Every structure is written in C-alpha cells, then in structure tokens.
C-alpha cells in the first residue's frame, strides 16, 4: 500500500507525452492545445467604428462646426472611398473601417439629418467630442503574430470564437486516448436484466463509459468479464488494443480476484497495486507495450464509489500526464458546514454538496453515506471532500479540500 502522492508520481513517470494531431476546430472542445496559437491578423484589422453614427474630425466639432456634409456611407465589410475633409462626415456602421481624416464617431442618436440639404448634411447635437470617441484602433485587441492562446490550454466552447477569428482550423491538439471499459464479476447482470438472488446490475461499466465520454473520449464498452480466466483473458487482450484499459472489480484479495493474475499472463507489467485511499485501496496500475503501441491499464475496485474515486484521482491524472498537464490544480478549498468524523488509517474521500450562494466563501456539507457501495449518496453529491490522515474529528467551520464532480 503506497501513499496517493507516490502513486501519482509513479503514474507521471510511466505515462509518455502523447502525440499531436490536427483536429477540426468545431470538434476540438475539451482537447488540449499542443502548440501556442498565433494570430494571423490584427484585431481589429483596421481603425473602426464601434457605433452606428457619423465619422467626424473631432477638431471640427471642437471648433463649433455643427452641420457637416455627408460624403458617403460606410458599412461593415466595405472600404471607405474617400477621406473625411474639414466640414465633412461619413455615415458609418458598427464595425466598419474608419475613413482617413476622421478620428471620432458621433452615435446616430446624437445627430439629425438636415432636411432637404443637397449634398446631404447632418446636424451634430454635441458641443465637443474627444479624439478616439466610439472608435477602436487597429490591433488594439492583438497584433498579428501575438500568442492568443497558449500550449496546454484546454479548449472551451467560448474559445472557439477566438480560434475561428485567427483562422486556426484545424487546431493542433494532443490526440485523445481511446478507452476500453471492462467490468468484471460473476455477480453482474446487464442493466436491462432483473437481478436474481445474489446478483446486482453492472453499474460500473456504464458509469465508466459515461465518465470518459464526458471528457470527450471515445470508449468501447467490453462484455462483462466472468470469473473464468480464459474468457477474462480474451476480453483483456481485446482491451489492450486501446490506449487505456479500465477494468473494474477483481483486484482485491479474494480467491476469485483474477484480474492481477490474468493481466500478468497477458504481459501487462505492474507499476503499483494498492494505494492508501478510502474508498479505492485495491487499485492496480500497469502498462503493456507491443511494438509502438502502449496501453495503460487500471484495475479499479468493484464497489462503484471506489471505482469513481480511482477514476478521478488516478485515471484522469494519467490522461493529464499525456497532455503534459501533470501540474494542473484540480482541488479547491471550502469551509465545512457540519462536524464530520472519519475512521481508519487511510485518507478519505467523502461525497459532499457545495452550497452555491452569493457569499464569498465556498461552503460544503458532507452527505450521509454508507460507504463504497452506496450510489444513492452520490446522486445528491456534487463533490468529493478530502479528509487527510492528520485527524479523525472535523469541526464545522474548518477548511477542507473539495473536488467538484462536473458533468
């Protein structure tokens, strides 16, 4: 049994940085940039108006000139045909390029057309205007060649706009690993079956599939592995073709806990077995290579909460290491709102509920929980609360670390 920090270090030392691929921009959300993204344009690309109105020379307004000859109309997407000379203005729309000569824009609500004037004229209802008013300078946001998003950034939906603006399609990202999920146990029946005596439905398989899919990963759900070494070996060999194989069940000390034995027979090299964490102690980690292909293998414990904690703590960390994000912070602090007692000699992760409110302090409550088989508590939880070994009695008001369970 090794400490969590040692397990993470061994994962970090085992997992290789992942290859870089070109990904269609629109399907890149959730992936991690493998290169800095440089702008290929200035933003804005030209001096521009940020209002609908009239492009003017501020010195004209300052000098008391209130009626200006309108020389042209400039819409977004068109280029000015002439410069604005003294006594003149150009009608201009939001986003359109500011014509030469003009250095400010009067919003349309502060103007009126001069009836019947030929050439057309506009009356300005302002006594002064500062140079630059309602305009933006070329490259005010960023300049061609600037880094707009850095290597290591995980792409969010909101980033797609910026990547599109700089023409970054396809985008260079770390390739997503492929995942195989292999639940094991003679007691398991499929979700659509009614469990007989001594049976339960396979809940870990679908949960692990969903957890990976929520990270944007392609997952193959393998058949349920039985307590039959030959059948289990066939399924493991199938799973080893993927980049990551996640087994659940069969890793504790029971006489039928075949997983470590079958993995060894398949040539999977063990890195660690058993970590001081509650729930989830029996977790197993190793790797298997054939030619240039490597598969990282996790044997997660069979109880659903043990599997979930193992996934969040160790599997996601391995994937972060592939993307060279081993240092990324995933915990945050919160204030415990209730007293809490832990037991035993391992750091504990307990289902908790974050209290979303308009206060500045994050509050978290621990939920009633029967242990690693109790999935109902998880349905109410939105985080795992970490209770380190230092003590067993926690008081309301104390700081704790929490790990949000996102989608």
Report how far residue 309's alpha carbon sits from residue 305's, in angstroms, rounded to the nearest whole number: 6
Q: Using the rule CB under 8 A, is 86 a contact of a copy of itself?
A: no
Q: Using the rule CB under 8 A, is 139 a contact of a copy of itself?
A: no
Q: Using the rule CB under 8 A, is 287 a contact of a copy of itself?
A: no
Output the CA–CA distances (angstroms, integers) from residue 360 to 335, 355, 363, in the order listed.
Answer: 11, 11, 9
CA nearest neighbour of 39 among 166, 217, 188: 166
User: What is the nearest approach in angstroms of a copy of itself to the Cβ of residue 17?
Assistant: 23
What φ, ψ does residue 375 adopt, rounded to 5°? -80, -20
For a copy of itself, the binding residue among 8, 70, 148, 277 (CB under 8 A) is 148
CA nearest neighbour of 288 among 276, 299, 278: 299
79 or 127: whose CB is closer to a copy of itself?
79
Burial (CB < 10 A; 0-12, 13-18, 19+), residue 79, is: exposed
Among all chains, which residue has been given the structure tokens 């197993």? 284
288 or 315: whose CB is closer to a copy of itself?
315
Q: Output b/e per residue, 29-67; b: 16+ Cβ within 10 A.
A: eebbbbeebebeebbbeebbbebbbbbbbbebbeeebee
16 or 137: whose CB is closer to a copy of itself?
137
Q: Using the rule CB under 8 A, is 186 a contact of a copy of itself?
A: yes
For a copy of itself, the binding residue among 19, 64, 119, 161 (CB under 8 A) is 161
For a copy of itself, the binding residue among 172, 220, 223, 401 (CB under 8 A) is 401
End-to-end CA gap in the chain: 31
For a copy of itself, the binding residue among 2, 21, 160, 217 (CB under 8 A) is 160
For a copy of itself, the binding residue among 23, 121, 135, 204 (CB under 8 A) is 204
192 or 390: whose CB is closer to a copy of itself?
192
Stretch that binds a copy of itself, among 116-124, 172-180, 193-201, 285-293 (CB under 8 A): 193-201
User: What is the nearest approach in angstroms of a copy of itself to the Cβ of residue 315?
Assistant: 13
Stretch that binds a copy of itself, among 71-79, 115-123, 286-294, 388-396 (CB under 8 A): 71-79
For 186-320, where are the E strands, in sequence order? 188-189, 200-201, 219-221, 244-248, 269-273, 284-290, 293-300
Q: Using the rule CB under 8 A, is 199 a contact of a copy of itself?
A: yes
Report how far residue 106's alpha carbon sits from residue 114's, in angstroms, rounded to the nearest whole number: 15
Q: Using the rule CB under 8 A, is 275 a contact of a copy of itself?
A: no
Report how far residue 73's alpha carbon sits from residue 96's, in angstroms, rounded to the nearest whole number: 10
For residues 68 and 122, the answer to whether their CB atoms sit within 8 Å is: yes
For a copy of itself, the binding residue among 145, 167, 229, 344 (CB under 8 A) is 167
Alpha helices in 87-129 (DSSP H): none
For a copy of itself, the binding residue among 86, 214, 264, 290 (CB under 8 A) is 214
13 or 329: whose CB is closer to a copy of itself?
329
Q: Using the rule CB under 8 A, is 141 a contact of a copy of itself?
A: yes
Within positions 289 to 348, which residues make up the interface with a copy of itself, using CB under 8 A? Answer: 302-304, 307-308, 329, 331-335
Q: Using the rule CB under 8 A, is 38 a contact of a copy of itself?
A: no
């Amino acid at each position: 049994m090794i400490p969590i920090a040692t397990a993470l270090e061994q994962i970090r030392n085992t997992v290789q940085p992942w290859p870089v691929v070109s990904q269609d921009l629109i399907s890149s959300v959730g992936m991690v940039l493998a290169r800095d993204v440089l702008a290929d344009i200035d933003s804005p690309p030209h001096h521009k108006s940020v209002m609908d109105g009239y492009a003017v020379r501020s010195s004209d307004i300052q000098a008391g000139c209130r009626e200006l000859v309108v020389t042209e109309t400039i819409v977004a997407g068109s280029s000015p045909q002439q410069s604005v000379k003294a006594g003149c203005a150009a009608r201009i729309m939001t986003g359109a390029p500011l014509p030469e000569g003009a250095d400010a824009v009067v919003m349309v609500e502060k103007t009126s057309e001069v009836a019947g004037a030929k050439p057309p004229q506009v009356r300005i209802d302002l006594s002064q205007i500062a140079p630059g008013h309602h305009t933006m300078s070329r490259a005010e946001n960023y300049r061609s060649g600037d880094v707009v998003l850095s290597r290591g950034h995980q792409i969010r939906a909101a980033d797609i706009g910026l990547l599109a603006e700089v023409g970054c399609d396809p985008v260079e990202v770390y390739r997503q690993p492929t995942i195989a999920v292999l639940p094991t146990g003679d007691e398991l029946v499929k979700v659509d079956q009614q469990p007989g005596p001594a049976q339960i439905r396979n809940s870990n398989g679908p949960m692990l599939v969903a957890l990976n899919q929520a990270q944007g990963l392609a997952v193959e759900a393998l058949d349920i592995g039985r307590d039959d070494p030959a059948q289990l070996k066939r399924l493991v060999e199938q799973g080893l073709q993927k980049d990551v194989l996640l087994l659940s069940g069969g890793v504790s000390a029971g006489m039928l806990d075949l997983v470590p034995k079958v993995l060894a027979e398949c040539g999977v090299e063990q890195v660690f077995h058993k970590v001081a964490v509650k729930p989830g102690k029996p977790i197993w980690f190793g790797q298997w290579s054939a030619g240039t292909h490597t598969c990282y293998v996790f044997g997660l414990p069979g109880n659903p909460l043990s599997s979930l904690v193992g996934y969040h703590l160790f599997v996601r960390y391995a994937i972060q290491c592939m993307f060279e994000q081993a240092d990324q912070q995933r915990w945050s602090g919160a204030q415990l709102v209730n007293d809490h007692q832990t037991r035993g000699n391992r750091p504990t992760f307990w289902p908790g509920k974050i209290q979303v409110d308009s206060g500045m302090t994050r509050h978290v409550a621990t939920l009633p929980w029967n242990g690693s088989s109790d999935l109902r508590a998880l349905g109410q939880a939105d985080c795992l609360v970490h209770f380190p070994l230092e003590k067993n009695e926690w008081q309301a008001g104390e700081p704790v670390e929490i790990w949000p369970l996102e989608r």
